[in-house]
Amino acid sequence: MAPTEALLHQLVTEAGLPAVESFEVLRGHGFDHEILRATLTDSRQVILRHRPQKPRALPVGLARFLAAHNVPAPALLAGNSFATLYEYAPGEMLSALVAEGRAGDDDWRSVGTTFRRLHDIRFPKGLAGLLTEDKLVLESVDPVNAMHELLVEAEPKLKVKLPVVVPHLPRLHAVIDENAPALRETATALLHLDVNPANIIVGPTRTTLIDWGEPGVADPAREIAALEEHIYLINGSEIPAAFYETYGPRSLPNTAIHRLTGAIGWYSEDDFEDWATEEDLDPALKAQGRPLAGRSEGLPHRDRPPPEGVLNLSVESGDLVVVDQPVVTDPAQDHAEPHHPGSASRRRLPATDSAARCPTRRKARPRRYRRISSDDRWSTHRRTGPGPWSRGATRPAPPYGPPSRP
With a cut of 60, say whether residue 322 has pLDDT above it. no
pLDDT at 347: 37
In 81-103, which positions are buried (b, 16+ CB within 10 angstroms) versus exposed (e)? ebbbbbbbbbbbbbbbbbbeeeb
Q: Are 345 and 298 in contact (CB under 8 A)?
A: yes
The residue count for the chain:
406
Prediction pTM value: 0.72
pLDDT in tens, 204-228: 999 999 989 889 999 999 999 999 9
pLDDT-derived band at 336 (thresholds 50, 70, 90) equals very low
Average pLDDT in the chain: 74
Mean pLDDT score, 246-270: 89
Instruction: Report d(CA 360, CA 127) in Å as an integer.
Output: 10
Instruction: Report d(CA 263, CA 154) in Å as an integer.
Output: 11
Range of lowest pLDDT (39-53, 78-92, 181-195, 315-329): 315-329
Q: Are 161 and 88 in contact (CB under 8 A)?
A: no
pLDDT at 177: 95
Q: Residue 289: which residues within 8 A CB-CB, separation 6 or more? A: 233, 272, 275, 276, 350, 369
Distances (CA, A) of 120 to 1, 129, 190, 216, 250: 46, 17, 8, 14, 14
Give whichever of 104-108, 336-340, 394-398 has the largest mean pLDDT: 104-108
pLDDT in tens, 161-192: 888 888 889 999 999 999 999 999 999 999 99
Distances (CA, A) of 395 to 45, 90, 398, 402: 10, 12, 8, 9
- For 117, other C-beta atoms within 10 Å of its C-beta total 20
38-41-77-27 Cα dihedral, nearest 10 degrees? 0
Q: Is the peptide bond before 359 cis (omega within 30 degrees of 0)?
A: no
pLDDT at 286: 52
The residues spanned by each domain of the chain are 3-87, 92-347
Q: Are 19 and 44 in contact (CB under 8 A)?
A: no
Higher local confidence (pLDDT), 288 or 13: 13
Angle, vertex CA 47, rays to CA 43 and CA 52, nearest 5: 145
Q: Are 285 and 231 in contact (CB under 8 A)?
A: no
Mean pLDDT score, 18-45: 86
With a cut of 80, say whether residue 135 has pLDDT above it. yes
Instruction: Report d(CA 298, CA 300) in Å as an integer.
Output: 7
Range of lowest pLDDT (270-274, 290-294, 363-367): 290-294
Q: Are 320 and 313 in contact (CB under 8 A)?
A: yes
**CATH H-level superfamily of 3-87:** Phosphorylase Kinase; domain 1 (3.30.200.20)
Instruction: Report d(CA 205, CA 24) in Å as an integer.
Output: 25
Q: Residue 176: which residues within 8 A CB-CB, separation 6 or more? A: 144, 147, 148, 183, 257, 261
Of residues 295, 297, 165, 284, the one with CA closest to residue 236: 284
Chosen CATH of 92-347 out of 3.40.190.10, 3.10.50.40, 3.40.1280.10, 3.90.1200.10: 3.90.1200.10
